[in-house]
Structure 1
């Protein structure tokens, strides 16, 4: 398989993001991605704690949460198209995403004490489980596997986008059931969480194929891609556990 014919479901790892870097001498390494990922996770946690502290002082965290979400989307778009600015944009993305995650966590904790730590544990466990499955080749990332994950992500994100958009305009739709604690809603969230988890396999596989082939600053882009997936896993874990507790 040609190096740049590889496909992945995560837009951060699409072939257009990485195209044209094979001849660079200063190459991306796995160790570099690990260090940058740890640094960005630290930034994310720091801004999430900041959101928590602001809530304790009586600040309206909706401003931080939704502002962080919009900023995270903005920095993601810039990172996708301006790769050389990734060393600046990705840390900013982590800080913005931390504001959003902090708000989500506060709301979850206000209703179900201890759910945040459980979700963090699930996210960390999922990461290492997927890494083990990938390294041991228990699950092989074949072309068919990639296609199934890609289609699944497209369907899930389309449903979420429709649900959130219609909900914003107070339009009642069949999608509203997904926000309930019904068995159908739980099944959908479990499916979404599973797809999010298996997306990590595609990310691991793509990073392994690109290491030592693209410039070192692209480690930040790889870090961004992993953060996108990990945040998705965390949010789905919280949503799923809330519904299971209510049910």
Structure 2
């Protein structure tokens, strides 16, 4: 026989059996909208602040390497050229590695810094003041791109990314052909086709330089988009190194393109 204390309680359906409350549609939606709990096995998630700190650390190593390259350019002239080759190899290793390696990324930053310091010193000896101009212009491009992305006015899209990849392949093909023509003596111009060809009186290198800067700006948008989505999706914290590496590669490329563009303009 059921206990009256239970059967008379509405929570037990009047039958001595606990009632199972049926949630409403609104309650179900509220539960569905709640953020999922982080997976303890995956470790701490990626954050924007963490990526910024990691990026600052890698750029600190880059600056140390740049100082070494700048100081030793006259003592060991081939050091920065060797650093360029090693840096290119490390870049490929980091790009094709499935998971980020902090040691390899920091090694890339240091070696690439030596290359940047050496080539910057070479440009500075030819065109005094060009390095400070290129650094300032690079900061402006990065700052404007970041501001536009943060405001939501510029976003990465599938179509824009597809056009970007096609343009990158075309620009790389031109660069390889231009270097080949210079190596085999087809053109004696120090910049090859970049200054040997003019369009409406404007050196081709200036037009391509502006085009390359735009490509670099969109590459930054892709880097920012990766960091934003990685943070939203709470991917593992180790991918902060991937975000930092991507930003560093893009900014180095931007700086070199701007450096060459200013040199052609000052020629």
- Distance in structure 1 (CA, Å) of the matches to 2:80 and 2:258: 18
- Distance in structure 2 (CA, Å) of the matches to 1:38 and 1:86: 17
- Structure 1 partner of 2:258: 237
Task: Give per-residue Cα distances to partners, 1:73-111, cap 9 Å, x unaligned.
Answer: 221222223354611001100011111111221111011
2:169 to 154, 159, 165: 154
Q: Secondary structure at the match of 2:235?
A: coil
- Distance in structure 2 (CA, Å) of the matches to 1:161 and 1:26: 43
- Structure 1 partner of 2:46: 28
- Post-superposition shift, 1:39? 1.1
- Structure 1 partner of 2:64: 46
- 8 A contact 2:181–2:192 mirrored in 1: no
- Structure 1 partner of 2:3: none
- 8 A contact 2:156–2:221 mirrored in 1: yes
Could you tell me the TM-score, scaled by structure 2's length? 0.76
Q: Secondary structure at the match of 2:236?
A: coil
- 8 A contact 1:130–1:201 mirrored in 2: yes
Question: 1:151-230 to 2 correspondence within 5 Å?
Answer: 151-172=166-187, 176-180=192-196, 182=198, 183=202, 184-211=204-231, 212-230=233-251
2:76 to 48, 52, 60: 60
- 8 A contact 2:100–2:241 mirrored in 1: no
- Post-superposition shift, 1:169? 4.0
Which has a greater percent of helix? 1
- Distance in structure 2 (CA, Å) of the matches to 1:191 and 1:198: 11
Unaligned runs of 5+ in 2: 1-40
Task: Give per-residue Cα distances to partners, 1:52-81, cap 9 Å, x unaligned.
Answer: 2113xx4132x2222111111221222223
- Distance in structure 1 (CA, Å) of the matches to 2:243 and 2:67: 25
- 8 A contact 2:179–2:192 mirrored in 1: no
Q: Secondary structure at the match of 1:217?
A: helix
- Structure 2 partner of 1:113: 128
- Structure 2 partner of 1:70: 85
Unaligned runs of 5+ in 1: 1-22
Bigger RCO of structures 1 and 2 (CA < 8 A, at least 6 apart): 1
Could you tell me the TM-score, scaled by structure 1's length? 0.82
- 8 A contact 1:200–1:229 mirrored in 2: yes
**How many residues are matched?**
222
